[in-house]
Amino acid sequence: MKRKVSKRPKIGSHGFKVYKGTYVNVGQGVNPKLALLVQDLWNNNESTKKMRKHVRGITIKKLSTVKRGGRWNGEKGWYEHIQKYDGFNEEWHKSVFYHEIEGHAFWDFAKKWRREALIKFNEMANNMPALDEYAKENEVEWKKINDDLDKIKSIKKKYDDYYNLHGDDGDYAKYQEFEDMLNEARNDSGHKTMTRYANEQHSILTEIIRGVHTRERYVDDVALQPLVKAWEELHS
C-alpha cells in the first residue's frame, strides 16, 4: 500500500510553517524579536494560511540604506522584511507585514484563485477616493498601471526554459514567436480592474482592518464599510 503523503506545511527553517521548496533566511544582526514576530504573523494569520504555498521565499534582513520596510516580489514569489534600525517597533513591523503579505501577496494570489471576488473588490476600490495620503499622492500614476501580468510572466518563463535548454543554438523562429507573444500580451494589459491603485488600496485597507494604519486617512469608517465587506468576502 502506498504511503499517503501529507500536503500540509511543515515547521521548517527558523520555525516558519512552509511547504517544501520555500526558503526562509534570517540575516545576521536581525533582532530576535523581529524574527519571532514575523514568524508568528506568518504562521497564524488566516489569510496567509490560505496562500502560503504560493510564497517561495521569506527573507528578514538588517539593512539601514533603504527607505522601505519590506517588499513583496510577485514575479519571483518572495517576501523581504527589513530591519532598518536596532530598536524594535512592533506596530511598525506589523504594518509592514500586513501591507506586503496579507495585502500585496494575497492580492496576487487572488488574481488566479479568487478572481471574481477580487474583480468585485477592485471595482469598488478603483471608484473609491484614496484611502490615505499615500494613495492620494500616487493616485493618478497608479490608475494608469495594470498589475494583471500573469500572462506575461508565463511567456517569459517558457522563453527562459527554452533558452536554458537550447541557448544561442535555438530556433530563431521560436525566439521570434516568443517575442510576438510577449508584444501581444503587453498590448493586452489584463483585466481593467487590476490597477496598481486597487492593489495599493487593498494593502492600505488591510492595515486599517488590522489596526496598524498610521498615515492620515481620507475615508471614514462609515464610508469604508462596503469596501471592508468586499475585503472580508475576498479573504473568507
Find residue 146's DSSP bridge partners: 195
DSSP state of 76: T
Quote the pLDDT of residue 177: 86
> CA-CA-CA-CA torsion for 23, 56, 28, 92, nearest 10 degrees?
-140
CB under 8 Å to 210, separation ≥6 — which residues? Answer: 94, 95, 98, 102
Find residue 70's DSSP bridge partners: 81
Q: Which residue ranges make up each domain of the chain? A: 1-111, 150-187
Quote the pLDDT of residue 29: 93
Contact in structure between 176 and 225 (CB atoms under 8 Å): no
Quote the pLDDT of residue 10: 59
User: How many Å apart are CA 92 and CA 87, to the nearest integer?
Assistant: 11
Quote the pLDDT of residue 4: 46
Quote the pLDDT of residue 5: 43
State which residues of the chain have pLDDT below 70. Answer: 1-13, 150-151, 185-189
CA-CA distances (angstroms) from residue 219 to 44, 122, 127, 198, 216? 29, 16, 13, 15, 10
Does the pTM surpass 0.85? The reply is no
Quote the pLDDT of residue 214: 93
Burial-class residue 227 by CB neighbours within 10 Å (0-12, 13-18, 19+): buried
User: How many Å apart are CA 168 and CA 161, to the nearest integer?
Assistant: 13
SS3 at position 78: strand
Strands 57-62 and 78-83: parallel
User: How many Å apart are CA 115 and CA 113, to the nearest integer?
Assistant: 6
CA-CA distances (angstroms) from residue 100 to 41, 81, 82, 159, 163? 12, 9, 12, 29, 32
Quote the pLDDT of residue 8: 60
User: How many Å apart are CA 74 and CA 153, to the nearest integer?
Assistant: 10
Find residue 79's DSSP bridge partners: 58, 72
Contact in structure between 36 and 81 (CB atoms under 8 Å): no
